[in-house]
Amino acid sequence: MIIDIHGHYTTAPKALEAWRNRQIAGIENPSAMPAASELHISDDELRESIEANQLRLMRERGLDLTVFSPRASFMAHHIGDFEVSSTWAAICNELCYRVSELFPDSFIPAAMLPQSPGVDVATCIPELVKCVEQYGNVAINLNPDPSGGHWTSPPLSDRYWYPIYEKMVEYDVPAMIHVSTSCNACFHTTGAHYLNADTTAFMQCLTSDLFRDFPTLKFVIPHGGGAVPYHWGRFRGLAQELKKPLLKDHLLNNVFFDTCVYHQPGIDLLTRVIPVDNILFASEMIGAVRGIDPETRHYFDDTKRYVEAAHIEPDARYKIYEGNARRVYPRLDAALKAKGR
CA-nearest of 202, 193, 221 to 78 is 193
Dist CA 303 CA 322 (whole Å) = 14
Report the chain's terminal Cα–Cα distance, integer Å.
Answer: 9
Dist CA 199 CA 223 (whole Å) = 10
The kind and range of the H/E element at 162 are helix 162-171
Whether 236 and 248 have beta carbons less than 8 Å apart is answered as: no
CA-nearest of 239, 203, 240 to 221 is 203
Separation of CA 126 from chain center:
20
Whether 69 and 110 have beta carbons less than 8 Å apart is answered as: yes
DSSP string, 11-49: T--HHHHHHHHHHHHHHH-GGGPPPGGG----HHHHHHH
Whether 86 and 115 have beta carbons less than 8 Å apart is answered as: no
Dist CA 19 CA 88 (whole Å) = 10
Whether 33 and 26 have beta carbons less than 8 Å apart is answered as: yes
Whether 125 and 163 have beta carbons less than 8 Å apart is answered as: yes
Cβ neighbours for 320, distance < 8 A, ≥ 6 positions apart: 259, 271, 276, 279, 280, 281, 307, 312
Catalytic member of 127, 284, 295, 322:
284
Give the β-pairing of 219-221 and 255-258: parallel
Active site residue 241: no
- Looking at the DSSP bridge assignments, the partners of residue 220 are 176, 256
Dist CA 137 CA 125 (whole Å) = 14
Q: Which residues are catalytic?
A: 284
